Amino acid sequence: MKTWSLRKRMVVVSCVVLLAAFSVIYLITKSAYTIASKARIQESLVAQIYSLMAVAEDQDAQLTLREIQRNDRLNNLNSGLVAYVLDVDGDLIWRSRSSDTFAVLPDINHDYSLSYITDSKVDGHDMFWIGDTIIWEHENGIEGKYLFLIGEKQALLNASVREFKREIFVWLSITALVLIVVLAAALNISLKPLQAAQLQIELVSRGDAEKVHGNFPKELRPLTDSINQLLAGEAQQKARYRDTLGNLAHSLKTPLAIIKSELPEQLDERSRSLKKQVERIDDIVKYQLNRSVVTAGQTMRRKSEVNPSIKKIVDALRKVHASKSLKIDLKVEEKSFFPGDQGDFMELACNLADNACKWAKSQVIITISKQANHLIIKVEDDGVGVPEEKRALILNRGKRLDQQAEGQGLGLSIVMDIVKIYHGDLFIERSTMGGALFELKIPV
């Protein structure tokens, strides 16, 4: 539940609220309708009992009503409306024709009234009753008590309530559906900036964009602005860092260059040792400074396209190794991206390619391709290659600088370092051209 997206939360909450609201509306409407219907029934039954009383006559000191009534529902069987006139003992004085299907008489012990409906069962049917006891003065002056009863089958009301329920259910459902659609659309509109921000942030974190672009509502702006500030700050800091390191390198190396340039041409024991120490200091500076500019593991991932930089690299290497007249072949798969800073990519590719150029007799092939989730950089040459026993040694380098054999160069140590930081792998094989094949696998 905690991990539900905002959209999901809002949809679920709106649907629940909507359903609850409509259920309440449904229940209220239904009971209001039932109450109103009962009141109407009571009214109409009272009116009919009065018209029955109005047509009652006195015949030979007997209360009589005509068998056929003006209200046709009282004459028809199955109309659901029945009427009785009973005396105080419960004996039948008169019954409407429509009551002929009832085998028994209504129970006179119930409390019948004009002002409320009495529910009771007669002959298995649920009925609403309205009744009134009147004192009748016969022609002969004797007074008699009679109970006028009129009842309607409850089934009639139930059927109309059912019909009403069905209808209201259909309409409420349609309304709810329409509301849900409208709500979803409204949700979409209000969530749109959020979605845009999400997309932008994703682009940035995947390294596809430098910063978060676009105008956002004021609730989101602090977030997007902070991200941009963070990114800009980071870039600025990195530039400053690079600059400082560059200056540091410059101020460390110029004195070293002077010391070296002051050594006599013919080296004696002392100056040879001095030269060695200068070179050692140089190596340490080179290695440590290079290490510290490697930028993997930043807050936001950078992604740099391989193509422009690798072409620059090859041009540069052609210049540097121009005296060897090497053939440098370059095969780069379209839209290959290195998952990090361009400087790191250059460091990796250049060190490998520069080594290959140094060892190659006449040809170097650089192949860059994408494979599943990896960027593959292959550099091979037609030189002497790396003997198998030395491969492990090379791959384990980068830890102990002071133990390196002279003349091995720092290039591969730096490569190993960067590869580790990017969680990549380096393999050394034999090229089909006879020389070494270095294969780099960097997870993208």
Partner 1 sequence: MKVLIVEDELRLRENLVDSFKKAGYAVESAENGEDGVFLAEEYPIDVAVVDIGLPGISGLEMIAELRKKGNQLPVIILTARDSWQDKVEGLSTGADDYMAKPFQFEELLARCNALLRRTAGFASPTIQFADVELDTMAQSVNKAGASIELTAYEYKVIEYLFLNPKKVVSKTELTEHIYDQDFDRDSNVLEVFVGRLRKKIDPDKSLKLIQTLRGQGYRLNPDYLQK
User: Applying CB under 8 A, which residues contact partner 1?
Assistant: 246-247, 249-254, 256-262, 278-279, 282, 285-286, 289-290, 293, 309, 312-313, 315-316, 319-320, 322-323, 325, 342-343, 346-347, 349-351, 354
The DSSP secondary-structure symbol of 302 reads -
Name the β-bridge partners of 374.
Answer: 371, 443
Contacts for 57 with CB less than 8 Å, ≥ 6 apart: 63, 64, 65
Write the Ramachandran bin of 24: left for phi over 0, alpha for psi from -120 to 50, otherwise beta: alpha
Query: Which of 227, 223, 220 shows the shortest CA–CA distance to 204?
Result: 227
- Residue among 165 and 361 whose Cβ is closer to partner 1: 361
Cα angle 69, 71, 76 (rounded to 5 degrees) comes to 80
Nearer to partner 1 (CB atom), residue 79 or residue 290? 290
Q: Given the complex with partner 1, which of 173 and 277 has the nearer CB atom?
A: 277
Helices (H), 70-220: 154-206
d(CA 137, CA 119): 30
Give residues with Cβ within 8 angstroms of 404, minimum separation 6. 283, 397, 410, 413
Which two structure tokens, joined as six digits, stand for 305? 């396209």
Q: How far is the CB of 290 from partner 1 (least distance, A)?
A: 6
Q: Give least dist CB 439 to partner 1, A.
A: 19
Toward partner 1, which CB reaches closer, 204 or 418? 418
Q: Which is nearer to partner 1, 78 or 244 (CB)?
A: 244
* Closer of 161 and 235 to partner 1 (Cβ): 235
Cβ 254 to partner 1, closest distance in Å? 5
- Calculate the dihedral angle through the C-alpha atoms of 298, 303, 309, 310, rounding to the nearest 10 degrees: 110
CB of 348 to partner 1, least distance (A): 9
Q: Smaller CB distance to partner 1: residue 150 or 350?
A: 350
Minimum CB separation of residue 189 from partner 1 in Å reads: 46
Q: How far apart are CA 288 and CA 362, in angstroms?
A: 33
Closest approach, Cβ 250 to partner 1, in A, equals 4
Question: How far apart are alpha carbons 363 and 209 in whole angstroms?
Answer: 37
Residue closer to partner 1 by CB (options 194, 235) is 235
Shortest spacing between CB 213 and partner 1, in angstroms: 27
Least separation, in Å, of the C-beta of 275 and partner 1? Answer: 9
- Determine the Cα–Cα distance for residues 86 and 78; give it in Å rounded to an integer: 21
Token pair recorded at residue 84: 């009785």
Token pair 């676009």 in the structure block, residue: 214
